Each structure stands twice: as C-alpha cells, then as structure tokens.
Amino acid sequence: IAGITQAPTSQILAAGRRMTLRCTQDMRHNAMYWYRQDLGLGLRLIHYSNTAGTTGKGEVPDGYSVSRANTDDFPLTLASAVPSQTSVYFCASSEGGSGANVLTFGAGSRLTVL
C-alpha cells in the first residue's frame, strides 16, 4: 500500500540521549516535511526538504536535524533530547512545485523524553 511509514510508533527516551525518527515514502514525492503536534499548539513545521539533497528550516528547528540523501527517506534526529521535545511527530510528503501540493501524513511517532 503506497504511503508513508514512520518508525518507531512510540518511544520513551532519557534526556540527553540521541534519537532518530525514521520516515520513508514510496510515492516518489519530491517534498518531505517533519511536524510536531502539541496540545493547544497544533502542528508546527520543524524542517522540510523540497527535493533530494536539499533541506530547509521550519518554524521550530532548534534541537533537530534532518538529511535527505535520496527521494524516499527523510530521517529526523534529536542530537541530545530534552523533555520539551516530548511530542507527537508527523512526517509528511507532497509532490512539490506549484498547484495544490497536498500533504500526505504518516501515522506519527509518539516520543516521550524523561
């Protein structure tokens, strides 16, 4: 089934540890995104990538890094996790370019930092 796969589904992490959230899409979409969703704040863009090999900062990039080595994969890394990074993380992709450019979301990764 075509779509976006995120892993892990859920993770509890000690503060200070490094963590990588994985995201893979099989729709050959050019653009990919990472959002975090917190109660009362909605979805906030962390980083995005217009195409393989390029990345850009979103609204809340501090403490996070991304890479886009190929079209399908867009991992998000927390170099040293802090409790404020406890959230639900959604990866998304879109065809990119002009037009509707509708985002398709993965199922999310729930991260708890203690």
Binding footprint of another protein on the chain (CB under 8 A): 31, 33, 35, 40-45, 48, 50, 56, 58-59, 90, 94, 96-98, 100-108
**Least distance between another protein and beta carbon 68 (Å):** 13
The first and second tokens of residue 78, run together, are 């927390």
**Least distance between another protein and beta carbon 17 (Å):** 25
Amino acid at 77: T
**Least distance between another protein and beta carbon 9 (Å):** 11
CB atoms within 10 A of CB 22: 15
Instruction: Give the nearer residue to another protein in terms of CB position, either 10 or 80.
Output: 10
Instruction: Give the nearer residue to another protein in terms of CB position, either 2 or 14.
Output: 2
Instruction: Give the nearer residue to another protein in terms of CB position, either 7 or 45.
Output: 45
**Least distance between another protein and beta carbon 111 (Å):** 15
How far, in Å, CA of 43 to CA of 90, rounded?
A: 9
CB 25, CB 4: distance < 8 Å = yes
CB 90, CB 9: distance < 8 Å = no
Instruction: Give the nearer residue to another protein in terms of CB position, either 43 or 52.
Output: 43
Nearest 5°: the CA angle 21, 24, 27 is: 155
